[in-house]
Amino acid sequence: MSRVVVVGSANLDLGVAVPHLPAPGETVLGEDIAARPGGKGCNQAVAARRLGAATLFFAAVGDDRFGADVRAAITAEGLPPEHLTTVAGTATGVALIVVDAAGENTVVVAPGANARLTDDALAALPATLGPDVVLVLQLEIPLATCLAAARHAREAGARVVLNAAPLPDPVPPAMATLLRHVDVLVVNEGEALRLAGAPTTDWAVLAVALRALGPAACVITLGERGAIHADATGATDHPAFPVDAVDTTGAGDSFVGALAAALADGRSLAEAVRRGCAAGALATTRMGAQSALPTSAELDRFRAAHPELSHA
């Protein structure tokens, strides 16, 4: 079985559907609030696990009710809870999510315990890594922790996938060091532009340029236009799978989890990106983040319904 290790954030998502996203100073009446487990790290770990990868998850929660809820949800997903650190006297991370009738969203994250996931909490990480492992990182935890995890992966011969989101503003100097420890960089359009410091929207050119910052390969996700990836052989465009989107909240994490699971399974980067595009599209057809993440069987059926788009 393929092996994925995720080091990242764990939140409780508080989501509400509204007819339209509020403008500054505007109050909009929404529907009933929904509380669900989330966080980019947790979402990506669940995504990889549902797609068949043997997945471990290193994260931190607070010693509050939300932390207990997140721990229970992680366990219910089949993720071993022993690498989930509880930080005393600290609140669990919370994401406030507003989704409009078109499926677009705004998200505000209060990091809580995620900001206290330090290298000390990764003492068991090196023993979980090896040449057959894909390590997945994001930026909802301290950058120093990401760098420490990436260095552990390098020493163990594991591959590193970095989803550089949310990207700090301004981009800290330590990001340059982290990128040199990355095998596959995954960014959206805005993150790609900010990292490259270039105004171009020629995404193939930009993906190639981002490789010069250190990663062996770069993937730029383009929402309803699919994705593009660049590696040593050049750039490849991947059209999107057509869907009727109702909520885009979990799409990016579904993409990353599917990509990591595919790479851990020995698939090519091109095939991993195709699976990521399909998983991301499928996630937009359901409300929520983790509740929208597809299983392996669901993803296979979805791809079978779109044979013209399922091969790189």
Q: Is 93 within 8 Å of 118 (Cβ atoms)?
A: no
Residue 253 is a catalytic residue: yes
- Rg of the chain over Cα atoms, rounded to whole angstroms, equals 18
Strands 11-17, 34-38: pairing is antiparallel
Give every CB contact of residue 290 below 8 A, 6+ residues apart in sequence. Answer: 36, 37, 38, 42, 43, 46, 73, 77, 250
Q: Which of 13, 231, 253, 265 is catalytic?
A: 253
Residue with the two structure tokens 């490849």: 236
How do 133-137 and 3-7 pair as beta strands?
A: parallel
Percentages helix, strand, coil for the chain, rounded to the nearest 5? 40, 25, 35
Q: Is residue 265 within 8 Å of residue 304, measured between CB atoms?
A: no
Q: How many of the other CB atoms lie within 10 Å of CB of 169?
A: 7
By annotation, the residues acting in catalysis are: 253
